[in-house]
Amino acid sequence: MKRVELIDLSKSYDKQIDVISGINVTIEPGEFFVLVGPSGCGKSTMLRMIAGLEEITSGTLKIGDKVANGLPPNKRELSMVFQNYALYPHLTVQQNIAFGLDVKKVKKPVQQKRAEDVAEMLGLTEFLQRKPRELSGGQRQRVALARAIVSESPICLMDEPLSNLDAKLRAHMRMEIRRIQRTLGITMIYVTHDQVEAMTMGDRIMILHEGKIQQVGKPIDIYNNPANPFVATFIGSPPMNLASAKNDSVSSTLLIGDTWHLALPANENYSHPSSELIAGIRPEHLRPATKDTPEADKFYVEVTNVEVLGNETVFSFELGGNEWMAKWSGQWHIDSGDRIPILIDTGSLCIFEADTGELIKKPTDLGNFVFGKEVLL
């Protein structure tokens, strides 16, 4: 259970362009830390730098209290699970699991005991004598996991371990990995491009884009208060709706996507040096207007697409050249082409500065979506 510290880390392949730069983060012992970002954002490179498979161009990497920049991979006391599992095809499951121990010259009976224990934990006992090619994808995944666990390393790195599994199995393995991590208390650094995995598994997540940190924090904080438009659209499904906006301080309204005039409460005013803003709102915060809604608050939209998912309905419409989506719970019988009235609460609106992407207004009204345990009692 070791701390991993990244201090001003950067990576460059050609000594000119940094593919990763300015990474400062401390991963606490026993934490489940998720690196998430679109493909090509440098998240795997970062993981490989921590593992020692990729050289660090500048900055300091500390594992525990030691500087680990120059340490070879096996001296860093970590285990790693690869996307394609990297199982040795010529060895049986048992030999695969015990391979690392064998390299470390652990005694044979001890090797066997530990391999069997881990196999039992992951339900692999009956496959111990099989070769990897005789296993299904999920079973191979488990063997890869077992191989990482059996080493009893304090740190475990995972590089998109679930991306080769089907959706159902993936959901199951998500829970299983989380459970194992909690039981063993290992420090986990997990790379994924799937925001659902990031949201559900991580204690903290770090969002990377073009080699730079966008935001680090608890998943729910990031969901509620995205630091910039990129994070806002990357986390959440469907993504947050964004449109350019202008603040009219005279009439105290916000002009969204050149068509909607949203009246602002008297005490709120987003006068900013550059009046170019980006307004964002989560699909679930766009609410249906009811009969009691005053006509002035209604916004009429023309539905372009409807997806009824059983427990919720997602429909899209166009606003200021962007496709917006709204998500309402229940099954709504709406057809594309319909004009329907919707409501926007100023409280659930995010406002970003257009040039820098900086968040200047957090959503304040999440009341309808946040519940405490007390509600149940």
Partner 1 sequence: MTISLPKKIWIYFLLTVTSLLVFFPVLYAFMISFMTGPEILQGKFFPQSFSLDNYFKVFDRLPLVKYLVNSFVVSVGVMFGQLLVCSLAAYAFVFMPFKGRDFIFFVFISTMMIPWEATMIPNFFTIQKLDWLNTYQGLTIPFFALAFGTFLLRQHFKTIPKELHEASQIAGLSRFAFFWRVILPVSKTSLVTLGAYGFLTTWNMYLWPLLITTNSSVRTVQIGLKQLQSQEMSTDWGVVMAGVIVVIIPTLLLLFLGQKQLQKGLSQGALK
Of 139 and 253, CB closest to partner 1? 139
Q: Which residues lie across from 159 on neighbouring strands?
A: 191
Q: C-beta of 100: minimal distance to partner 1 in Å?
A: 4
Question: Taking CB under 8 A as the rule, does residue 110 contact partner 1?
Answer: no
Integer CA distances (angstroms), 339 to 153, 212, 232, 296, 298, in order: 59, 42, 27, 16, 12
Q: C-beta of 318: minimal distance to partner 1 in Å?
A: 44
Among 19, 25, 71, 86, binds partner 1 (CB under 8 A): 86
Question: Taking CB under 8 A as the rule, does residue 99 contact partner 1?
Answer: yes
Q: Which helix (H) or strand (E) holds 128?
A: none
Q: 28: buried, middle or exposed (CB in 10 Å: 19+, 13-18, 0-12)?
A: middle
Question: Taking CB under 8 A as the rule, does residue 79 contact partner 1?
Answer: yes
Q: Classify each residue of 113-147 as buried b or exposed e, where b means 16 or more C-beta atoms within 10 Å of its C-beta.
A: ebbbebbebbebeebbeebbeebeebbbbbbbbbb
Q: Which helix (H) or strand (E) holds 220?
A: helix 219-224
d(CA 210, CA 20): 7
Question: Taking CB under 8 A as the rule, does residue 89 contact partner 1?
Answer: yes
> Where in 115-174 is the site for partner 1 (CB under 8 A)?
133, 147, 151
Among 63, 78, 162, 256, binds partner 1 (CB under 8 A): 78
Question: Taking CB under 8 A as the rule, does residue 265 contact partner 1?
Answer: no
**Residue that the structure tokens 């063993």 belong to:** 184
Among 7, 53, 67, 309, binds partner 1 (CB under 8 A): 53
Question: Taking CB under 8 A as the rule, does residue 83 contact partner 1?
Answer: yes
Question: Taking CB under 8 A as the rule, does residue 107 contact partner 1?
Answer: no
With beta carbons less than 8 A apart as the criterion, state whether 290 and 346 touch: no
List interacting residues with partner 1 (CB under 8 A).
Answer: 48, 51-53, 72-74, 78-80, 82-86, 88-90, 99-100, 103-104, 133, 147, 151
